Chain A
Amino acid sequence: MDDRRLETIIGRLLRAGVLLAAATVFTGAMLYLTQHHGEPAKYHTFVAGGADIRTVSGIVLSASHGDSKAIIQLGLLLLVLTPIARVAVAGVGFLLERDRLYAVVSLIVLLILAFSLLHAT
């Protein structure tokens, strides 16, 4: 394991994550447009949404029931997880390289990311 190889693995991981996320969002989009295409689109004033689009558990639960908006959110959640996975993979890569300093640096970044994501649970 060297840095170049590690970066190649990470690059592929990111690409796969984005493709999976985009496919999920697209699926939700088709479903949403089939069911709600005639509804008025009003976004002039911000109104906070419900748990089904705000929290990880709410999104997963509603998406499993086939709710189109929740499926879109699930795709967006996958998208957010992609760079987080990249940090985790890099951390493991640094461990394999026996680079303790950068394994710790990766862990710090991962903890900050986890702190933010915990707000959505």
Chain B
Amino acid sequence: MTALSFTLVVLTLSALAGFLGALTGLGGGVIVVPALTLALGVDMKYAIGASLVSVIATSSGAASAYVRDGFSNIRIGMFLEIATTLGAVAGAFLASRVGTHTLAIVFGLMLLQAAYLSFKGISNDRVSTESDALAARLRLGGSYPVDGTRQPYGVRHVPSGFAMMFGAGILSGLLGIGSGAVKVVAMDRIMRIPFKVSTTTSNFMIGVTAAASAGLYFSHSYIDPRVAMPVMLGVLIGSLLGARVLVHSRVKTLRVVFGVVILALAIEMIASGITGKI
């Protein structure tokens, strides 16, 4: 394959991954890495490096649209970013210590979890208006728009949520992904933050988390311009298009289809890791 055809193939695949990632809310990284490694035989380290920069592009590119709607909570985001960035630095260190096969297997396991979440759906209705003691001292509670008025909400279980965010950061730094699904679970399920606030705040946090691994990724030269360039541009274009279509599509059916694809990729990824193909 020549550099030109490689660039065009990766650009197309990445645009598709970004589109589906935005539509399902799982992000482009979970498809880009398997597509590069399984379909094109690209080394895992180039793939996670390229995925990491595409994650930053998607997160920052979508942020202004989310802000306008007034759902995201800047204090929750900033406070939990202490945990995710620490985790991301640890994860990026870890990525340079473990072998490619191990990375592939861990990636496969993460995909299994993502597939499980797409079948099950993540949401909780038990929003409470009162924060517990620690969340109140940190002033994490806020309000979000519901039917034209602003509905107040409280935040709970800060230590558990913080710990899970550290885990999300490790996963992000180790695999070059946004790990948005884990962040949403931490906020929505554990901390009882309304779903819409959780997803938009998670999107904000993804870029900062990924930026914390980027320095180490650059110094290990995982970010190769020849691979990262088509991935970054492709995922960015795809996700911006996906965000436009999102309003009109039937998300539930889509999530199930996406779940099946991810499940297949997960099995392939784990098998390749075990047999040493990756």
Contacts and interface: CB of A to CB of B under 8 A. Distances in A.
A37 interface: yes
A79 B53 contact: yes
B130 interface: no
B272 interface: no
A109 to B, nearest CB: 5
A79 B208 CA distance: 11
Given A15-B60, A54-B221, A72 B229 contact: yes
B221 to A, nearest CB: 4
Interface string A101-121: 110011011001101111110
Nearest to A117: B215
Interface of A: 3-4, 6-8, 10-12, 14-15, 17-18, 21-22, 25-26, 28-29, 32-33, 36-41, 43-46, 48-49, 53-56, 69-70, 72-73, 76-77, 79-84, 86-87, 90, 101-102, 105-106, 108-109, 112-113, 115-120
Contacts of B74: 3, 6-7, 10, 90
B218 A55 contact: yes
B214 A80 contact: yes
28 contacts: A3-B74, A11-B67, A14-B61, A18-B60, A18-B236, A25-B232, A28-B225, A38-B2, A40-B2, A43-B226, A46-B45, A48-B220, A53-B223, A56-B218, A72-B225, A73-B218, A79-B60, A80-B56, A82-B56, A83-B59, A83-B210, A86-B60, A106-B78, A113-B208, A115-B89, A116-B92, A117-B214, A119-B218
Contact of A40 (B1, B42, B46, B79): B1
B2 A109 contact: no
Q: Which 7 A-B pairs have the closest CB atoms?
A: A41-B6, A11-B64, A11-B67, A116-B215, A72-B225, A83-B207, A117-B215
A109 B138 contact: no
A11 B46 CA distance: 30
Nearest to A80: B214
Contacts of A108: 82
Contacts, number: 204
B233 interface: yes
The binding surface of chain B is classed by DSSP as helix
A75 to B, nearest CB: 8
Interface of B: 1-7, 40-46, 53, 56-57, 59-61, 63-68, 70, 72, 74-75, 78-79, 81-82, 85-86, 88-89, 92, 100, 138-139, 207-208, 210-216, 218-221, 223-230, 232-233, 236
A79 B42 contact: no
B4 A37 contact: yes
B81 A80 contact: no
A59 to B, nearest CB: 8
A11 B63 contact: yes
